[in-house]
Amino acid sequence: MHDFGTDAQSQGDLTRLDADDGRPLVTVASPERIGNKGVGRYGMVASPDGDRLYVHKWKLVSGRHQGPGGYSAPASDHWWDIYDGSTLALTGSTPHVPDCGIAQYFPGREGSSQFAVACSERNVLVFIDRDSGNTLSTIDPVPVQKAGAGCIGDTELAAAADTASGGKILIATRGGCVLTANATDMRVETSLSVALPNGWRVPFGMLALTRMGDRVFVGLGSGSSSDDCHEVGVFNTENGTALGTIDAGESINAIGVSIDGRLLYAASKAADNLLVIDIASGQRIGAVEHLGTHPEHLLVAAGPSEP
């Protein structure tokens, strides 16, 4: 098993590390390719088998990007350098998505050359062919809402998550619309509406799935800030039935579900801790205090003996 990292002190060297002892195994000095990687917490992702490493890059270009509701921002080009996971050699084509913004990458099914990217700036889910670099399809919440699929609120993308198999991707808007997309067919299968109290929104990044994708956990915030969240709504992904609400008891900014689906993990940047909550009872059963990292993101990974 290997980890990957970049080093800002060396102007963006890319290194493959031994996950057991942290030894550097391969280093590529490539500041011209990685030095401008600062695109948020989803800047670099490895495929599940470690065969490919995707590094998100971007630069400003001339012109402006016009978004919904009169929103405007400087135009930008976003692309993914694709590296061989063993040699760190550049491989294949370089997919480009204009004006993508902070991007969350989904590798798709094992053995497939197709992957998807949730673009925060354009508020869309884009499917891309890794080998050719071509865009295959785009899912935009706006047509879904206009078609009367039961979505409410605006279409600003708040969060996205995929199932363990990579077969389905869920995207949630700030206004409480949760769409389930089939990653193979690249189309929306189902949608559900989260009943938000007046003035409440879905905070950025606050979406999590059970491993099988049968339940979705959606952060609920008062709307006082883009990441304010104290409660998590639980829903059946097939029929949209509300299964309950979990009160974290404090401000949280990232969530994840245990592999067996019994526990909800909630990270608090403000309190610098990680909460462990029993999903069935909604009760806090543990916490890791004083992390020293003020976490912004949370990833739950299977252990060595788990599939």
- What is the DSSP secondary-structure string of 116-167? EEEETTTTEEEEEETTT--EEEEE-HHHHHHTT-S--S---EEEEEE-TTSS
- Report pTM: 0.83
Assigned fold of 1-139: Lipocalin (2.40.128)
pLDDT at res. 153: 54
Question: Which regions in the chain score pLDDT beneath 70?
Answer: 1-13, 19, 29-42, 68-69, 142-154, 224-227, 302-307
pLDDT at res. 34: 42
CATH superfamily of 143-307: YVTN repeat-like/Quinoprotein amine dehydrogenase (2.130.10.10)
Surface-to-core class of residue 292, CB atoms within 10 Å of its CB (0-12 exposed, 13-18 middle, 19+ buried)? exposed
Domain-by-domain residue ranges, the chain?
1-139, 143-307
